[in-house]
Structure 1
Amino acid sequence: MDRAFDIIDERFKRYALGNVFVERLHTGMRWAEGPVWFGDAGQLLWSDIPNNRIMRWVEGGGVSVFRSPSNFSNGNTRDRQGRLVTCEHGARRVTRTEHDGSVTVLADSYQGRRLNSPNDVVVKSDGSVWFTDPPYGILTDYEGHRSEMEQDGCHVYRIDAETGQVTVAADDFDKPNGIAFSPDEQTLYVADTGASHRKDGPHHIRAFTVSQSGTLSGGEVFATIEPGLADGFRLDTDGNVWTSAGDGVHCYSPNGDLIGKVLVPEVVSNLTFGGPKRNRLFITATTSLYSVYVGANGAGPF
């Protein structure tokens, strides 16, 4: 692709750097997902769901397998202690990898019934863990294990940092998917990708107001993705939402205006900010891992 950016609004010019290009860092995955940056180790981890593994990329050191099998891992993030938090389709659970390499199960059920297949996850500054639970990992044997749903729907959940109690944060989704907080954590963005299996299904991002006690209100549509789906997204320090789409990465201003795109030659699933200055966008897109430098800095401590 000859150009890296499509500037739709003047506000995007500051983020669309000149003389940069979209680099393909690695290929050979079946469906790449869930990138997470480890700045203290100078490495990026991401999931290759159908191949049942987590991959690792190191600048100047190439690519290796971090974990295999990975229980068909999907979304990954880090908590405030720098530990890896992972959504596992295969085991239908959310786990935390401790500093010594051991794995702690954070959630695998709600009210005595197994979760569907946790998809994406984010950790708030108070230590609470928020995740989405659509059925993608149990619909077929390709990204998990074909199984029946035990829950009454597909919900957004919150795990309390002190008690470990799992509660439903939002229950009016078709297929909740990508999830992220605004820089001030007063807004929680959650995607609904119901259009993946229903022609008239939702393909948008919703915005919820977060109370101090951790309850959600609102939930209005923030942006509708066209073409494609908001499979995964992250925010920059200016409050812009950078999300996956069918033709690359779309950037939305804090008020929901589409201001620009990063053009990627494969369908994008997810992304994260990384690099020493968090100004490098790492993009998982179908079979490949891409990156591009932008004039924005990723929000959050990791």
Structure 2
Amino acid sequence: MFGVLEGTGFEVIDKEFEACFIGHARVERLWTGARWSEGPAWFAAGRYLVWSDIPNNRLLRWDDTDGSVSVFRQPSNNTNGNTIDRQGRLVSCEHLTRRVTRTNHDGSITVLADSWLGKRLNSPNDVVVKSDGSIWFTDPSYGIMMDYEGERAESEIDGCHVYRIDPDTREVSAVATDFVKPNGLAFSPDETKLFVSDTGATHDPDGPAHLRSFSVSTDGKSMTGGDVFASCTNGVFDGFRPDREGRIWSSAADGVHCLNSNGELIGKVHTPEIVGNVCFGGTKLNRLFAAGTSSLYAVYLNVNGL
């Protein structure tokens, strides 16, 4: 059943959250039928959203003009995270081929990164583009741990890192090498900070389930710090996006968690399924899209995305 869902909605944990939502707005299920949804990315020019159905090896497309859903690409090489670059092109993390790619305006695909220091990447997971054109991505081992979301293989790197692709030379450099399972990532509105989640708890009960905050260097090529910014209270922080005021809206086991600029949990948007990733979209970027396990959800907010 599509439309407004009973038992969903907003949970206020701190009064600050009350200004973030519209009282009568409710969570809508826009579509269902996936095995594991991930990586939503909003195309403003076409008013549509592309997201991944990783185990079904396809990218899906939801059209805002008529609500229809179609297959954007299949096979998709078990694509996970997606984003849009400054020229409006799709940038994707492919598990099966262990690479980061760009889909050009003519439909051709350019490989942006598939190795580091001559060794194959593990399985790129999530990706963001900085205003200088550099591309930052995470590379945990989820896609090579089993055949469900990629292809089982041994890691050539023997580690799970965060990387940067130089916009001019396409050189791939490791910017953080002390993660268990680096996952979602996003810049602060002013790009002085990069937030990265570590979801090591998915395969180790004592592993991390938190978000870390790094300070980006003035030249935009490296980062320092990495203190824990927030710990997830239900599941793990997988994918997330900031709003214009610096709050972070992150996926979790019970929906979407909203963190203020100090990393404090101020509220939740409850969904019936685990959420894998989110993005802002709509003509005013005031609609939060959430990729749930089998479904695509959306809710209008009183905040705007970047």
TM-score (norm 1): 0.98
Query: Structure 1 residue 234 and structure 2 residue 241: aligned?
Result: yes
**Matches of 1:3 and 1:96 in 2, distance apart?**
36
Q: Is the 8 A contact 2:8 2:272 kept in 1?
A: no
* Equivalent residue for 2:92, pick from 59, 65, 86: 86
Query: Structure 1 residue 146 and structure 2 residue 152: aligned?
Result: yes
Give 1:152 shift: 2.5
Q: Is the 8 A contact 1:192 1:202 kept in 2?
A: yes
| Structure 1 segments (4+ residues) deviating >3 Å | none
**Matches of 1:3 and 1:173 in 2, distance apart?**
33
Query: Structure 1 residue 111 and structure 2 residue 102: aligned?
Result: no
* Equivalent residue for 1:63, pick from 60, 69, 90: 69
* Equivalent residue for 2:182, pick from 172, 176, 181: 176
Question: Could you tell me which residue of structure 2 aligns to residue 120 of structure 1?
Answer: 126
**Matches of 2:8 and 2:69 in 1, distance apart?**
26
- Output aligned runs, 1:276-295, within 5 Å: 276-295=283-302
Q: Is the 8 A contact 2:254 2:274 kept in 1?
A: yes
**Matches of 1:3 and 1:145 in 2, distance apart?**
36
**Matches of 1:145 and 1:2 in 2, distance apart?**
37
One-letter code aligned to 1:289 = L
Give 1:61 shift: 4.2
**Matches of 1:142 and 1:116 in 2, distance apart?**
15
**Matches of 2:82 and 2:228 in 1, distance apart?**
25
- Equivalent pairs: percent with the same residue? 62
Q: Deviations over 1:171-218 (max 9, x none)?
A: 000000000000000000000000000010000000000012221111
- Extract unaligned runs of 5+ from structure 2: 1-5
Query: Structure 1 residue 219 and structure 2 residue 209: aligned?
Result: no
One-letter code aligned to 1:120 = D
* Equivalent residue for 1:10, pick from 9, 15, 24: 15
Q: Deviations over 1:54-89 (max 9, x none)?
A: 000002141000000000000000111110000000
Q: Secondary structure at the match of 1:13?
A: helix
* Equivalent residue for 1:29, pick from 17, 34, 37: 34
**How many aligned residue pairs are there?**
299
One-letter code aligned to 1:225 = C
TM-score (norm 2): 0.97
* Equivalent residue for 2:213, pick from 207, 214, 219: 207
Q: CA RMSD in A?
A: 0.7
Q: Deviations over 1:113-151 (max 9, x none)?
A: 100000000000000000000000000000001111000
Query: Structure 1 residue 20 and structure 2 residue 28: aligned?
Result: no
One-letter code aligned to 2:206 = D
**Matches of 2:35 and 2:41 in 1, distance apart?**
18
One-letter code aligned to 1:33 = E
Question: Could you tell me which residue of structure 1 aligns to residue 305 of structure 2?
Answer: 298
Q: Deviations over 1:8-54 (max 9, x none)?
A: 11110011211111000000100000000001100000000000000
**Matches of 2:74 and 2:290 in 1, distance apart?**
21
**Matches of 1:53 and 1:186 in 2, distance apart?**
34
**Matches of 2:156 and 2:233 in 1, distance apart?**
32
